[in-house]
Structure 1
Amino acid sequence: MIQAIFYKEWIKTRWYLLLATLFMIGITGYSMLRVSRVIAMQGIDHLWVVMVQKDAIFVDLLQYVPLLTGILLAAVQFFPEMQRKCLKLTLHLPYSQKKMILAILAFGLLALAACFATGFIIMGIYLPQHFTGELVRHILLSAVPWFLAGGAGYLFVAWICLEPTWKRRVLNLIIAALICRIYFLAPAPEAYNSFLPVLTLYTLLIASLSWISVVRFKAGKQD
């Protein structure tokens, strides 16, 4: 059954995922080209000095890209489901409803992880050509909270889309916006290092909110 659920979600989202992955590759590649341009114009020594003295990581263009990617994936995946009132049919399939919702969310998170991995792979291949291992680690760890924000944005929008009443959707949206701000509170590179395990667990726990919306839907809550 899980394979069937994954296949159904893949059919719904495959074109968006292709575009999102291409965009991730493009924006990451462009960031690496900017680094190359600085090196060509001012030299690698200048780049190292800027990194050390000004805490520059040169991938700032990526900051909100994962969040936007996650939000749009959830909208593509869940909004049509609610508009066409397909959720009721899905919940009547001969399978555990809770496992079904978790499988749908797991597909989205895995798809996002695959999309985000392309960005990390590009950075992991390009950056070591110009930076030491410590500086590469510095850049990649500084970017991790942005990618976790993408997962959080996906789970929050899924929660909002599955909610059956508009009043509660507005409330959920406000809560989601405030919580997502946590991922961007500390502008300094590697500021979240000691908090990353907790932040990752916290992000995964957001998935439980979607089940609350499903329970309200099953109870017949509506505007």
Structure 2
Amino acid sequence: MIKAIFYKEWIKMRWFCFVAALFLAGFTAYALLRVQRVITFKGAAHIWQVMLEKEVVLIDLLQYLPVLLGILTALVQFVPEMAQKRLKLTLHLPFPQRRMILLMTGTGLAALVVLYAAQTFALWAYFRAVLAPELVARILLTALPWYLAGLTLYPLTAWVCLEPTWRRRIADMLVAAGVCRIFFLSESPQAYDGMLPWLCALLLCVLFFPLLSVHRFKQGCQD
């Protein structure tokens, strides 16, 4: 049954994952080409100077991509479940319901982790050739909260999608927007280093939010 659940989710997500990978690769390549253009005309020393004096991380263009992908992944997975009334059938399968929902969200999270890891590796592989290790670490640590934001917004979006009533769904959207804002309060490099454990704890908490909507669905809550 577990393999069947993973396969069902993969069928829903396979084309989206392919498009998302191309989308992410395109933006990443564009961001790195911008950096390479500066290096070609002004040299790598100029990049070092800009990073140290102006506190930039060179990949600001990628800041909101993880959040966008997290939201879209949840929409691709769970909007059909509600729009086509599949959730009721899914919950009647001979399998623990909570575990099933967690496996479904786990599939989406795994896809996001793979995409984010691939992008992080590409950034690391490029910057390690032109920057000092300390500056590479600065770039990646600055980007880490962006990825955590994407992973956090995924279950929050699933929570919204699975909610059976629109009034509660709107309230959930406001909560999700507030949580998202936490990850983008500062644009300074490594501003969130001290908060990373708390952001990870927040992510762990919201992983179970979709279960709340499923519980309300089972209770028969409707508009």
TM-score, scaled relative to structure 2: 0.98
Q: Which residue of 2 aligns with 1:99?
A: 99
Question: Following superposition of structure 1 onto structure 2, how do residues 179-194 of structure 1 map, counting pairs within 5 Å?
Answer: 179-194=179-194
Q: CA deviation at 1:85?
A: 0.7
Residues 157-188 of structure 1: per-residue CA shift (max 9 Å, x gap)? 10000000011001100111011100000211
Is residue 155–residue 207 contact of structure 1 (8 Å, CA) maintained in 2? Answer: yes
Q: What is the aligned-residue RMSD (CA, Å)?
A: 0.8
Please state whether the residue corresponding to 1:129 is helix, strand or coil. Answer: coil
Residues 120-143 of structure 1: per-residue CA shift (max 9 Å, x gap)? 111111101100111100000000
Question: Following superposition of structure 1 onto structure 2, how do residues 67-146 of structure 1 map, counting pairs within 5 Å?
Answer: 67-146=67-146
Q: CA deviation at 1:197?
A: 2.0
CA distance in 2, matches of 1:126, 1:219: 52
Which residue identity lines up with residue 154 of structure 1 in the other structure? Y
Q: CA deviation at 1:3?
A: 1.6
Q: CA deviation at 1:118?
A: 1.5
Question: Following superposition of structure 1 onto structure 2, how do residues 1-223 of structure 1 map, counting pairs within 5 Å?
Answer: 1-223=1-223
Which residue identity lines up with residue 133 of structure 2 in the other structure? G
Please state whether the residue corresponding to 2:183 is helix, strand or coil. Answer: helix
Which residue identity lines up with residue 85 of structure 1 in the other structure? K
Unaligned runs of 5+ in 1: none
CA distance in 1, matches of 2:9, 2:71: 16
CA distance in 2, matches of 1:30, 1:201: 33
CA distance in 2, matches of 1:205, 1:175: 14
CA distance in 2, matches of 1:115, 1:201: 22
Q: CA deviation at 1:147?
A: 0.8
CA distance in 1, matches of 2:40, 2:13: 40
Among the aligned pairs, what percent are the same residue? 50
TM-score, scaled relative to structure 1: 0.98
Is residue 5–residue 104 contact of structure 1 (8 Å, CA) maintained in 2? Answer: yes
Please state whether the residue corresponding to 1:187 is helix, strand or coil. Answer: coil
Count of residue pairs the alignment pairs up:
223
CA distance in 2, matches of 1:19, 1:201: 30
4+ residue runs over 4 A deviation: none
Please state whether the residue corresponding to 1:185 is helix, strand or coil. Answer: coil
